Amino acid sequence: MISFKTVTWYSQLTAIILFVVVWYVGFCVGRYWVSPGRQGTDAPLTGVVNAAVFRCSQPVGSFISGVFYKDRVSLTFSSGRRITMPQTLSADGARYSNGTDKFGAGETLIFWNKGNTAFVTENGTTTYDGCVTK
């Protein structure tokens, strides 16, 4: 007969096994799961194609750090601002924007990259220019 008010050796063993299993499952889920709010900031660098730091002439002393994926880029600006943007259509080079579709509809921020050069426009004004990586 099972008694729920009595502590036995097998109830203690069952509790220990359950504790270890729950802890292990939580550890595994926490290690590999990325919440949507973290995407592009602390997300694991899976699928990285390239990474580069662009030193810019305007504003003087500024830089843009980029991590390039197959279809998007994660940028960190010298001001500390971070953003992840999808790649949009471009005739030449790579173009990324915060627009709502592959054509860049509604975009306010554009990052252009060709070879070892890049620049950024915000609301139609170039804010980072003469950016080069070596």
DSSP string, 85-124: EEEE--SSSEEEE--SSTT-TT-SEEEEEETTEEEEEETT
Each residue of 44-87: pLDDT tens digit?
556 888 999 999 999 999 999 999 998 899 999 999 999 999 99
pLDDT at 80: 92
* Residue matched to tokens 């050069």: 117
Q: Would you kindly state where each structural domain of the chain is located, as residue ranges?
A: 38-132
pLDDT at 66: 93
pLDDT at 15: 87
DSSP string, 59-92: TTT-EEEEEEESSEEEEEETTS-EEEEEEE--SS
pLDDT at 11: 81
- CATH code for the part of the protein at 38-132: 2.40.128
pLDDT at 32: 54
123: pLDDT strictly greater than 80: yes
pTM: 0.63
